[in-house]
Structure 1
């Protein structure tokens, strides 16, 4: 897929890489880095291209491309969609998928202003001792590295590269060159004398880069989707039983005090090692995302592994810089070290510092909760964070960097204001003005997702098939498996030693959540089971109950409705349950009716 996007993006990105306008403004550089990383689906690839640009002398000032390496990949978020069929799994996997996004955005929010501020207030020095914090520290380290002949270190790509070379071969130097008539797909190999042998060479000669790029993209997207679905099913089958228990024991190891702290760093080292082996943090974290959805891996442990993967993937850039030779070897090493320092600084900020490590996890989990209730918000999040917001900032930065800075400052202050108001609304609303004690003064469209959810549901019913509608708006209860499990549980409750109708709230709630029926509370009867049945049945039908009862059928009905259907030869046992009705947007009292006979 990366090769497909490189083929498609040559005409646009090549001009941008050669344009000095896009490299002079740090905000433009940052937004462009986010967009190109999203499109190419690999921060390692983007960093390697930037290293090659610096190593070849196309970019002579490392400071101009530092913001560009702060982009993040969308791959992990897309992997979460493979579990969209289950509300809870999708919520957990989406929280896991956006962990890297939240981490990178928060780190950028802190480090980019510091980088710009230090660069503006300090005087110019030599090429390795100017710029901001990242540029100066990485420059000082790079200046101490002796120049050597280029070497090429590959680990996981030793396996994958021979396979991909049979399909497509890319000449990445053409992206930033002035040879506009030459295709990115290689035509000649071995000193431009013999034509390369790979699957799409003849098509590139005949149709060019764009057509082949589209075909490759469609094929890779189909293969990626199939692999993701297969991986989730495979993981589900593997982790059931003994392997499930073993993995959970390993991944959910809990300690206290210094042991817990040390254990966290062990998982970070595991993440670093895993990312180095596959030479891609996106691939490594994409493997973890379904595990979080299946509750094999906790979000906290996944956070530690993600931090390690972010640091480990910078080793790929260091490997890429080692391939450079000549006068620009140290500059290419400097940009690789900058990528490493960026992720290391993020680790210090959002993991090592006390209390700060909770912020990325909390934000990811809250977004996951929203997505579990309103699945369409996942697409809104991707569009907003990876495309719309960077494009708006890019346009504003083209006008002037001060305009973009004011826009960012306004958004930041608005977020801080909302957080403070929500805190006081929950803890001490009396300290707030009456108008701010709730958000009712705002239009409903500004304060409630349910407003948009209602209108979107109406719109989707007109344009989508029933299968797509069920994905976005799943049924509250899947009847058949719920009937079987509920009857089994009910039988156990009825045979309780104290002969009382007992409801294990936690177990039943987990059962209903699994089938998309969020339970708010459950009515617990304190009557003996015989009296409970007699009283409840008599209050509904006016008929007395007699004899022993046997569980027979299970149906769902609304306790608030005027009519409750009672079969002539059956008597009913009703469990009152409070559930949340998505259509009416409110809590309602419902009941599970169990048919019983003599």
Structure 2
């Protein structure tokens, strides 16, 4: 009896409550991968079959079939308009500063300083097309020689990718979408930086871009075409954007040329289609007149004298937009438009992604994924990427902006419809397509410096082509920018504040710091620059050896555990930011959700002595502390 009671007491075990399995037909979308968040998504169709719908359901579905494409076109059009408004806002906020920076000819002769000025100017005006056109105009006017202008257009290549980096932040709500979108945006940055790292010192030493472009210009008899300006997409967006704001971009060019009078002028247009007309006019003025008779001077008197003179008049119609008669400053109007454009951009992106996700179901999603991401049949599969480069160049030429094109396809990467491997050649093509604007500006320059203007435009094109030849044909080189972009995407998905830090660091703080060191003197720049490069190189080499061959390293360097946590991990900074934002727990995206931290229900104790055999579906397991469970993919750790 005593032994039976003892055995009954020892029958108490711990049961694990397993998560509920969701039926397959209730899953709206399922990731077509095991654990790789970068793989394309497979969208499952959970809509009700047609034969099961009633009359109102069929009418609703047919209506949505027609309304959703119209909504996508409208939102895409509004999204492009918001990008144009945001570019005008940045021109109002920093256009004059950019023009003044381009007028510093002494600083521009320094290759690194010219590169940083190109980055800052392009970020301030939010358009590499605008910055390169200004540089081409300065070269055509004889204010800037070709060689320093090459370094500026290299910087413009880097600065143009700031727009799609900003656009990717609109998908920060969903972790995996943000990961893919930020990686798709920064693969453009990685290529541009890697190309500059190779070709900036090479150009400074050998001037190969200068010599090749000079040979091309001298070999081909290219004529000036003052009507070379082409506007394709802008013809559709201008009717809307011109009603909101019109910016006089000629002031940036005037400041770059050294015209100090342009500082006092407003960049907000008040007179449109301004023309200077020379008109003959009659002018009467008081002058000293000498009265003489028979060669004898009698007197000198002040009398009215009438004469014919040519007068230059400014002719044009008054502009009609929201800020044509405003008394606000350029900076105030720019700040208002920047907030409005960012709100409009984020709204359009969120709605666009939602509608596309509802449309990309079943066969439609499969059709899009196969056509965009599929390779050509063997043995022509290697040509797929090069065709994507051509498509990217053509689309960028049509929209006349690499920022618009890359910003449009960035959300599709976040949705999992375009892979990062396909995004990469499309952005390379965008780099080539955006050079068309500079070439057209050179063809329309119509000055005695026409050949120099065309030469700098060709240098921009040759720089991008050389970058593609280095970083795309060879597989190991092609994977380098993609791996770097994936690393940034993974880091941003884990620490979402890192996206803002990256944006400020790469496009503002780093160029500004290098520019400041350049102003301090070449010795300061060389001292800090060489030390920084040596440290970065050592870190990269040690990281490679730690992953590939750690035995060749001293035991201390086989891992980074000897360093303080804040030097080898972003977690302490993340904890500090999370605590600082603890007031905004409900809206802060930095802290994982409760359900993500504890995907399993708490275990409970069950006295198996009171259960029958039919009530014992589980085998005994050990007790698990669910407070330590932080897995996000449904597995125990």
Instruction: Please show how residues 59-458 of structure 1 align to structure 2 within 5 Å.
Output: 59=144, 61-70=145-154, 71-73=158-160, 74-118=162-206, 132-143=207-218, 144-151=220-227, 152-177=229-254, 178=259, 179=261, 180-190=263-273, 191=275, 192-204=314-326, 206-254=327-375, 258-458=379-579
- Does the C-alpha gap of structure 1 residues 134 and 168 become closer, same or farther in structure 2, counting only changes over 3 Å? same
Q: Is 1:37–2:122 an aligned residue pair?
A: yes
79-88 or 164-173: which moved more? 164-173
Aligned to 1:85, the other structure's residue is in SS state coil
d(CA) in 2 for partners of 1:303 and 1:549? 57
Aligned partner of 1:475 among 593, 605, 616: 593
Provide the aligned C-alpha RMSD in A: 2.9
Q: Is 1:15–2:100 an aligned residue pair?
A: yes
CA deviation vs aligned residue, 1:497-556 (integer Å, no higher than 9, x gap): xxxxxxxxxxxxxxxxxxx5699xx9xxxxxxxxxxxxx988x644464476799xxxxx
Aligned to 2:434, the other structure's residue is in SS state helix
1:121 paired residue number: none
Aligned length: 495
* Contact 2:233–2:400, Cα closer than 8 Å, also in 1: yes
* Contact 2:93–2:335, Cα closer than 8 Å, also in 1: yes
* Contact 1:37–1:46, Cα closer than 8 Å, also in 2: yes
Aligned to 1:203, the other structure's residue is in SS state coil
Moved over 6 A (4+): none
d(CA) in 1 for partners of 2:170 and 2:598? 22
* Contact 2:123–2:159, Cα closer than 8 Å, also in 1: yes
Aligned to 2:477, the other structure's residue is in SS state coil
Cα shift at 1:307: 0.8
* Contact 1:93–1:293, Cα closer than 8 Å, also in 2: yes
Cα shift at 1:148: 1.9
- Does the C-alpha gap of structure 1 residues 251 and 140 become closer, same or farther in structure 2, counting only changes over 3 Å? same
d(CA) in 2 for partners of 1:589 and 1:201? 60
- Does the C-alpha gap of structure 1 residues 149 and 316 become closer, same or farther in structure 2, counting only changes over 3 Å? closer
d(CA) in 2 for partners of 1:80 and 1:232? 12
- Does the C-alpha gap of structure 1 residues 220 and 348 become closer, same or farther in structure 2, counting only changes over 3 Å? same
CA deviation vs aligned residue, 1:347-379 (integer Å, no higher than 9, x gap): 111102342111000100011111111111111
* Contact 1:203–1:212, Cα closer than 8 Å, also in 2: no
- Does the C-alpha gap of structure 1 residues 108 and 139 become closer, same or farther in structure 2, counting only changes over 3 Å? same
Uncovered stretches (5+) of structure 1, i.e. residues with no partner: 119-131, 478-515, 523-535, 552-557, 563-576, 591-598
2:87 paired residue number: 2
- Does the C-alpha gap of structure 1 residues 252 and 182 become closer, same or farther in structure 2, counting only changes over 3 Å? closer
d(CA) in 2 for partners of 1:296 and 1:86? 15
355-364 or 318-327: which moved more? 318-327
* Contact 2:94–2:124, Cα closer than 8 Å, also in 1: no
Cα shift at 1:164: 2.4
1:512 paired residue number: none
d(CA) in 1 for partners of 2:445 and 2:482? 38
Cα shift at 1:171: 2.4
Cα shift at 1:313: 1.3
2:77 paired residue number: none
2:48 paired residue number: none
TM normalised by structure 1 equals: 0.77
* Contact 1:52–1:324, Cα closer than 8 Å, also in 2: yes
d(CA) in 2 for partners of 1:256 and 1:417? 43
- Does the C-alpha gap of structure 1 residues 236 and 581 become closer, same or farther in structure 2, counting only changes over 3 Å? closer
Uncovered stretches (5+) of structure 2, i.e. residues with no partner: 1-85, 276-313, 618-622
Aligned to 1:467, the other structure's residue is in SS state coil
- Does the C-alpha gap of structure 1 residues 270 and 320 become closer, same or farther in structure 2, counting only changes over 3 Å? same
Kindly name which structure, 1 or 2, has the bigger radius of gyration based on alpha carbons: 2
Question: Greater relative contact order: 1 or 2 (C-alpha under 8 angstroms, separation 6 or more)?
Answer: 2
Cα shift at 1:298: 0.9
d(CA) in 2 for partners of 1:427 and 1:207? 61
Cα shift at 1:434: 1.5
* Contact 1:145–1:330, Cα closer than 8 Å, also in 2: no
